[in-house]
Structure 1
Amino acid sequence: MKALLATLLIAFAAGAPLDDPDAELRAQALMREVRCVACENEPVSQSSAPIAEDMRTRIREMVAEGATDTEIRDWFVSRYGEFVLFRPPARDPASWLLWTLPFILLGAGAGIGIVLARNAKRKNGEVEAEDA
């Protein structure tokens, strides 16, 4: 009976900030990491969609219940998929390639630029040597 009453109190109070300032800061940080599933590119902390309000309430409930950040993220991922996280974990090789490919292309472009500059410098040096 006490557990049911505590759960109901948490559910009614979850729309309001948590009493513990540290817990509220943690909940706010998590709300900035979780994407609103209706607005897509907006965190639940900034969205005015009804689903975002429910998601904020759920985050506060879980923080008040003592769930870890990882458990809260995992709960949202299990319900909405990895899309719900602004920073999804890189688990498979395809995602690693997606994150590293821009840097690989930048390095390759810089390498090509250096080789072309050296070749142009050599050609200019050879032309000047022939003219002299």
Structure 2
Amino acid sequence: MSKDELKKKLTPIQFKVTQEDGTEPPFKNPLWDFFEEGLYVDVVSGEPLFTSKDKFESNCGWPSFSKPIKEEAVIEKKDRSLFMVRTEVRSKEGDSHLGHVFTDGPKPTGLRYCINSASLKFIPKADLETEGYGDYKSLFE
């Protein structure tokens, strides 16, 4: 999709986060304290990224996951903005900015994928089939 098409499809905060590498405010986003069973997909491309099975409460104000659905679902890049070095996380297919990954997460991975709600669309477990994600039902059985 072109930038103009994406501006029509996405909300202003979704566009800012995914296309302009923005960050939404902590604790003021819909998924930071949301823990229903389901799949988290890229709001731009629809590619599956994370599951509720790997989501945990990190008290950072954004959704946090210990790992992506598949390692190859996300791309990690060095981020030297804000006078520090961090590891940015982007979706592979949509090239959407998702957030950052840190090494202060729970075992067994020790990772905390700190992801903006605005970059994600949640698909409830009960809706996986009707939303076209039936292949992922087995992850919740």
TM-score clears 0.5: no
Mark the structure with the bigger radius of gyration: 1
Bigger share in strand: 2
Name the structure where helix makes up a greater proportion of residues: 1
The structure with higher relative contact order (CA 8 Å, sep 6+) is 2
TM-score by length of 1: 0.29
